[in-house]
Amino acid sequence: MPAVHISLDILQYILLPLLLTPPYLFLYLSVSTRSTIHPANHSHAMLTYPFDHTIFPASPSPLAPPCRTCSFPKPARSKHCSICRACIQKADHHCVWINNCVGRNNYLYFLGLMLSVSILLAYGAWLGYRILHVQIGLAYRSTPPAPSPDSWSRNLSWRRYAARFADIIAVHPFTAAPALLAGLSFPLAAGLSLYHVYLIWAGMTTNESGKWADLREDIAEGRVWRARLEELGADFPGLDAQPLAEGGGRGRGDRLADPRELGGGHHGGGGPQAEGAEEGEKATQ
């Protein structure tokens, strides 16, 4: 085990506690904060987000029956988690690493956890590299000795540089192994962090991105199609805009028509057949 303290300056002793503390803090907050919906907060959850009548139909309705486990209507943007055994408000996903659902109340803590872990992994990989770099200089001192342990690599080819690093990794595995693990794990944590930054920019959750992806597939396959309510009125007299008015609507009276809601058939000769359409909109289930 190398004398690590020889390779560290005062800045590293300041950075280490500053970078180690946030991941543990955000981990505790992510685990201890829950976004479950229960009878006491259900009425408030129903009013928090409007139903878009596309991936979240108004509940209760034939397209969005009450939750069979929790026995109450599902609020918009919620999802029942079979692991947590509860409906989660603004459900993003169930994270196995924190053994908790990521939802409305702990999403920012989870994002802080991912960002702080990404920074810590990058710093750990860099710090391990710097320690090994100095250790190689101490092990391969030139005659006369180099001005500093950090100057040994100036005149080396990349091949000799890699060979010396391989040698020092074999000599100091307890320093090299954490650095390599941090370096290999950093892209995973950074990629997940960037994906959630994108979701924030797009205004949706992981659960909702999956629903939209399923909906795009259904539209491409002709199971769901877009139409205006006034155009559908001639073929389906019982259809009106009242559900859209209650939930905020889509602004211009147009919506994604679901054949189960309309009673089958097709619109204007261009819609899907009833038997194909009855498979329904997977994204609303």
Among 189, 34, 187, which Cα is nearest to 115's? 189
Compute CA distances 258 → 40, 53, 66, 77, 261, whole Å: 33, 10, 19, 19, 5
Q: Where does 210-282 show beta strands of DSSP type E?
A: 225-228, 254-257
CA 256 to chain centre: 27
Structure tokens given for 8: 């560290």
Structure tokens given for 21: 């503390």
Integer Cα distance of 47 and 83 in angstroms: 25
Taken in order 5, 8, 13, 19, the sign of the CA dihedral is negative
Is residue 95 part of the annotated active site? The answer reads: yes
- Active-site residue, selected from the candidate residues 67, 81, 95, 101: 95
Q: How far apart are the first and last CA of the chain?
A: 57
Structure tokens given for 12: 């590293």
Q: Are 74 and 59 in contact (CB under 8 A)?
A: yes
Among 241, 228, 232, 231, which Cα is nearest to 264's? 232
Q: DSSP letters of 140-189?
A: T--SSPPSSGGGTTTT--HHHHHHHHHHHHHH-HHHHHHHHHHHHHHHHH
Q: Which residues are catalytic?
A: 95
